[in-house]
Amino acid sequence: MGKTKDTFQARPEQGLSHPETPFQDDEKDLSLRPKTLDEFLGQKAMKANLSVFIAAARERNESLDHLFLIGPPGLGKTTLAQVVARELGAEFKVTSAPALEKPKDLAGILTTVSEKTVFFIDEIHRLKPAIEEMLYIAMEDYELDWIIGAGPSARTIRIPIPPFTLVGATTKAGNVSSPLISRFGITCRFSFYEKEDMEAIVRRSAGILNVSVSDDGAALLASSSRGTPRVVNRLLRRMRDFAQVSGERVVTGRLVADGLRRLEIDSLGLEKHDREILRVIIERYGGGPVGAETLAISTGEAVDTLEDYYEPYLIQTGLLQRTPRGRMVTALAYEHLRMERSGNTGDKTASLFPSP
Ligand SMILES: Nc1ncnc2c1ncn2[C@@H]1O[C@H](COP(=O)(O)OP(=O)(O)OP(=O)(O)O)[C@@H](O)[C@H]1O
Ligand SMILES: [Mg+2]
């Protein structure tokens, strides 16, 4: 059988849990996507371990243990899954949990995996229980439980499947059941990228897109992109547009500062909507605590988008806290927005936006 790649492609480049977020530029991003572990920048500790596990599996000529990828959108989960397949020299199949409606959808894929295939399931926290059960047996025993017939004459047969590697990705590890988690032998937890890694990503992407970026331009882009490769690639493209239209040949710090102001991205890399969320908590809920559902309604956002995309970065920057009673802004949020505790706007003259 010919090994067709990506046979079960279910919108692989788009995270289905946050379809309406304006942060997905990946369709055009394909050329920027790293293909090897060397090209995959940052996340050093995670990468170092992973390269050992890959080398060991290769040496033993075995499939890699099942791999669990956790992290906010745009940090490289899908990319890493593809890189792993490539490093293993293995076939890559991809689907996403919402696309698996019936056990037969999963069985249809599992019966076509070959030895060492890397089978990627995106949004693994959204698996239906019956499918999850089937996956347990497939992951642990490399067998498929299949029911033939119906009613009293129905019986279950077990079909062996070749040892494959399941790669499950999620933005919401808290929603993944512990029996499923326990079946993954390797867990990779992504953190927001360090500034130096973001700068390296800007340089790499600029090289591929054939854009000249000055050092201060790269530094400002790196610090304004919420530690997220997808965001920095998107901003780099917009800066290229600004440069092109204004007839400039280099993306300089000044051009980036100006571009960020036009896109309403401030010195911490917050977008308008991030600030809106903080403002709503301050103005309507006295700084919090406020529950996620209420906050989502008040800001016109889906709870998933709020929790997956906005909150992790607001928490990371120390502007927001998640408490058992709900979300609360911190003193830093008041300071950053130049707001006073009363909810009045303070010093309006000070700029939120970066200067070159
Ligand atoms: N380590 C990295 N080095 C360089 N570029 C990267 C890296 N990780 C991700 N990217 C870039 O960021 C883009 C987004 O990454 P990716 O689609 O893998 O994120 P994701 O974690 O799967 O997001 P989602 O949760 O939305 O599915 C990629 O297309 C790639 O260009
Ligand atoms: Mg993805």
* Ligand 1 center to 77 CA (angstroms): 6
Q: Is 165 a catalytic residue?
A: no
Indicate whether 176 and 46 sit together in one domain. yes
- pTM comes to 0.89
DSSP string, 27-43: GGGGGGS--STTTS-S-
**What are phi and psi for residue 353, nearest 5 degrees?**
-95, 155
Residue in 105, 110, 85, 104 with CA at minimum distance from that of residue 34: 85
Indicate whether 172 and 203 sit together in one domain. no
Q: What is the pLDDT along the chain (356 residues), one digit of tens a residue?
A: 343 444 333 333 333 333 334 344 555 666 899 999 999 999 999 999 999 999 999 999 999 999 999 999 999 999 999 999 999 999 999 999 999 999 999 999 999 999 999 999 999 999 999 999 999 999 999 999 888 888 888 898 899 999 999 999 999 999 999 999 999 999 999 999 999 999 999 999 999 999 999 999 999 999 999 999 999 999 999 999 999 999 999 999 999 999 999 999 999 999 999 999 999 999 999 999 999 999 999 999 999 999 999 999 999 999 999 999 999 999 999 999 998 876 566 566 667 888 77
Annotated catalytic residue, options 79, 95, 117, 171: 171
Task: Tell me the CATH number at 151.
Answer: 3.40.50.300
Indicate whether 68 and 154 sit together in one domain. yes
Could you give the maximum distance between any two Cα atoms of the chain, in Å?
Answer: 78
Q: Which two tokens stand for residue 92?
A: 């890559």
Evaluate whether residue 74 is within a structural domain: yes
- Of the ligands numbered here, which is closest to the C-alpha atom of 42? 1
Indicate whether 145 and 85 sit together in one domain. yes
What pLDDT is recorded for position 145?
87
CA–CA gap between residue 224 and residue 133 (Å, rounded): 43
Q: Which atom of ligand 1 lies at the shortest distance from residue 24's CA?
A: 26
What pLDDT is recorded for position 192?
97
Evaluate whether residue 345 is within a structural domain: no
Indicate whether 82 and 170 sit together in one domain. yes
Evaluate whether residue 349 is within a structural domain: no
Task: Tell me the CATH number at 225.
Answer: 1.10.8.60
Q: Is 78 a catalytic residue?
A: yes
What pLDDT is recorded for position 150?
86
Q: Is 230 a catalytic residue?
A: yes
Residue in 75, 4, 15 with CA at minimum distance from that of residue 40: 75
Indicate whether 121 and 251 sit together in one domain. no
**Last residue within a domain, chosen from 262, 281, 299:** 262
Which amino acid is located at 249 in the chain?
A: R
Give, as residue ranges, everything with CB less than 5 Å from ion ligand 2.
77-78
Q: Is 77 a catalytic residue?
A: yes
Ligand 1 pocket residues where CB is under 6 Å: 15, 26, 29, 32-34, 40-42, 71, 73-79, 171, 201, 229-230, 233
Evaluate whether residue 1 is within a structural domain: no
**Last residue within a domain, chosen from 189, 213, 230:** 189
Evaluate whether residue 278 is within a structural domain: yes
Q: Which atom of ligand 1 lies at the shortest distance from residue 13's CA?
A: 17
Task: Tell me the CATH number at 331.
Answer: 1.10.10.10
**Full domain range(s) for residue 299:** 272-336
Annotated catalytic residue, options 230, 240, 275, 327: 230
Indicate whether 58 and 128 sit together in one domain. yes
Evaluate whether residue 100 is within a structural domain: yes
Indicate whether 213 and 308 sit together in one domain. no
Indicate whether 184 and 218 sit together in one domain. no
Indicate whether 152 and 36 sit together in one domain. yes
User: How many domains does the chain divide into?
Assistant: 3
Q: Is 122 a catalytic residue?
A: yes
- Which of 20, 28, 78 gets mutated to test ligand 1 (max ligand atoms within 8 A of its CB)? 78
CA–CA gap between residue 104 and residue 297 (Å, rounded): 37
Q: Whose alpha carbon is nearest atom 26 of ligand 1? A: 73
Indicate whether 178 and 40 sit together in one domain. yes
Indicate whether 135 and 54 sit together in one domain. yes
Evaluate whether residue 15 is within a structural domain: no
* Ligand 2 center to 121 CA (angstroms): 10
Q: Which atom of ligand 1 lies at the shortest distance from residue 308's CA?
A: 25
Evaluate whether residue 46 is within a structural domain: yes
E strands, the chain, in order = 67-70, 92-96, 118-122, 143-148, 155-160, 165-170, 186-189, 212-213, 250-251, 320-323, 326-329
